[in-house]
């Protein structure tokens, strides 16, 4: 097999089209139930998807940039993404679970222990989609800081650059201290010596000793080092500042090209940031492209389905990612072309759930397997990798289990702002 093409699916409500909840196959009465989310994740797992991401935010969904819109004709309200992932973890066997957790208003200690717990619950299939919050409304929910309102046009003029730099610098510190907390227990810190009454080797539990501009954490985690050591860290990026965050701190970045030329430009910028900022001992940054997809067996049927949803919404679907309405075969050709151009994978955002997820699992992935860019074993239900051993998410992504930061050869220095 040639270099593997990885595939993730982004789950959000009833789908990424704002009118998807009104589509015939949607299940809008169930989106606040555990069963609904389990069914989606199991469908992705049966189809051979490598991992799912679960969307989240600290305010209601909105059609307006960084502000509430007060609309009542679209899905509003959501369950906590990390708790969804934790609820489905024991009931799945192979698929990676990557919830969105915001860094801007969330304590790093809570982020670290919650994701470690998810890694234990899933037996090594946890990941983290890092997200920042530039919303003044979300800041008011917490009352700890003030963020001035920023509209989309002002942001496009560059007026929000200082705020974005601050939020992403803060996110970088949060990721670093979370990694230290994940590693604050060495792998063999728990000895379980019943005869001598010694459960823990205290010499192998370390202080994080991190004091930065935004974050100060001294103590060790309360949770032992989890199965993956460090769950993969992923981030969505659209511009230079988030590209730099991903290059320095993440394992995987999602980008949003709208054309082959756009992809070439983005890859060049991401790789430049990686060359400048990434620790050379870390593995290369994985790059996935995001696509919003609406799939039907006939191209005109897909276009008509999108048109009907747009009519229900009162406006054409717009997105940061490219919107692709067509056949599974046409999507496969697009994925293969992106893979040839240097992408490690794609994160597909189904316009309609569960309809487009079913098409991805039932048609797109088998075609990719037939093309030789995915091993057929990826869709096996035994929970085993092609090598026959139980796979962690890091295994599936080709990422080695990282050495503990606090071992003698790699011990981090104390950080002071």
Q: What is the mean pLDDT of residues 195-207?
A: 95
Residue 116 CB contacts under 8 Å (≥ 6 apart), including other chains: 126, 182, 221, 223, 224, 225, 226, 231
Kindly state the greatest CA–CA separation across the chain: 72
Binding residues for FMN: 56, 100
Q: What is the pLDDT of residue 332?
A: 98
- Say what the pLDDT of residue 340 is: 97
- Please provide the average confidence, as pLDDT, over all residues in the chain: 92
pLDDT at residue 379, rounded to an integer? 44
pLDDT beyond 50 at 380: no
For 97-110, the DSSP string reads: EEEEEESSSS-HHH
The lowest-confidence range among 60-69, 102-111, 183-192, 298-307 is 60-69
SS3 128: strand
pLDDT of residue 383: 39
Q: In this predicted model, what pLDDT tens digit does every residue of 23-46 receive, in sequence order?
A: 999 999 999 999 999 999 999 999
pLDDT score recorded for residue 408: 53
Q: How confident is the model at residue 417 (pLDDT cuts 50, 70, 90)?
A: very low
Indicate whether 77 pLDDT > 50: yes
Nearest to 15 by CA among 360, 291, 351, 310: 351
288: left (phi over 0), alpha (psi -120 to 50) or beta: beta
CA distances in angstroms from 268 to 22, 172, 240, 263, 274, listed in the order given: 40, 22, 11, 8, 10
pLDDT interval class at 412 (50, 70, 90): low
Chain CA centroid to CA 335, Å:
19
The rounded Cα 142 to chain-centroid distance in angstroms is 24
Residue 67 has pLDDT above 80, yes or no: no
| pLDDT at position 310 | 98
What are the structural domains of the chain?
A: 6-135+227-400 (3.20.20.30)
Cα 98 from Cα 56, distance rounded (Å): 11
Least confident of 56-70, 148-162, 227-241, 395-409: 148-162
Contact 402, 392 (CB under 8 A): no
Annotated binding site: 56, 100
């Amino acid at each position: 097999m040639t270099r593997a093409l990885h595939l993730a699916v982004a789950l959000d409500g009833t789908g990424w089209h704002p009118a998807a909840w009104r589509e015939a196959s949607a299940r809008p009465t169930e989106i606040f139930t555990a069963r609904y989310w389990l069914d989606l994740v199991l469908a992705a797992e049966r189809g051979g998807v490598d991992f799912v991401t679960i969307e989240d935010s600290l305010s209601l969904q909105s059609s307006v940039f960084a502000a509430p819109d007060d609309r009542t004709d679209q899905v509003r309200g959501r369950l906590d993404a990390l708790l969804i992932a934790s609820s489905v973890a024991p009931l799945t066997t192979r698929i990676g679970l990557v919830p969105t957790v915001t860094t801007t208003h969330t304590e790093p200690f809570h982020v670290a222990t919650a994701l470690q717990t998810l890694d234990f619950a899933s037996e090594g299939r946890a990941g983290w989609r890092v997200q920042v919050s530039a919303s003044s409304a979300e800041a008011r929910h917490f009352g700890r800081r003030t963020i001035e309102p920023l509209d989309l046009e002002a942001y496009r003029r560059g007026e929000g650059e200082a705020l974005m730099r601050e939020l992403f610098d803060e996110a970088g510190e949060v990721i670093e201290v979370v990694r230290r907390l994940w590693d604050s227990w060495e792998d063999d810190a728990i000895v379980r010596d019943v005869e001598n009454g010694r459960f823990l080797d205290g010499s192998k539990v370390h202080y994080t000793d991190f004091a930065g501009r935004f974050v100060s954490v001294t103590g060790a985690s309360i949770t032992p080092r989890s199965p993956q050591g460090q769950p993969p860290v992923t981030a969505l990026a659209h511009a230079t500042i988030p590209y730099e965050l991903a290059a320095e701190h993440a394992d995987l970045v999602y980008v949003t090209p709208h054309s082959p030329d756009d992809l070439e430009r983005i890859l060049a910028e991401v790789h430049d940031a990686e060359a400048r900022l990434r620790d050379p001992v870390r593995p290369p940054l994985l790059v996935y492209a995001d696509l919003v997809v609406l799939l039907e067996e006939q191209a005109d049927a897909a276009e008509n389905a999108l048109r009907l949803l747009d009519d229900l919404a009162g406006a054409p679907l717009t997105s940061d990612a490219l919107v692709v309405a067509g056949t599974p075969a046409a999507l496969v050709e697009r994925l293969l072309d992106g893979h040839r151009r240097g992408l490690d994978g794609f994160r597909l955002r189904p316009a309609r759930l569960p309809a487009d997820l079913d098409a991805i699992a039932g048609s797109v992935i088998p075609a990719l397997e037939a093309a030789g860019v995915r091993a057929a074993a990826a869709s096996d239900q035994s929970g085993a990798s092609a090598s026959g051993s139980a796979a962690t998410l890091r295994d599936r992504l080709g990422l080695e289990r990282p050495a503990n930061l606090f071992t003698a050869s790699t011990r981090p220095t104390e950080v002071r702002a």
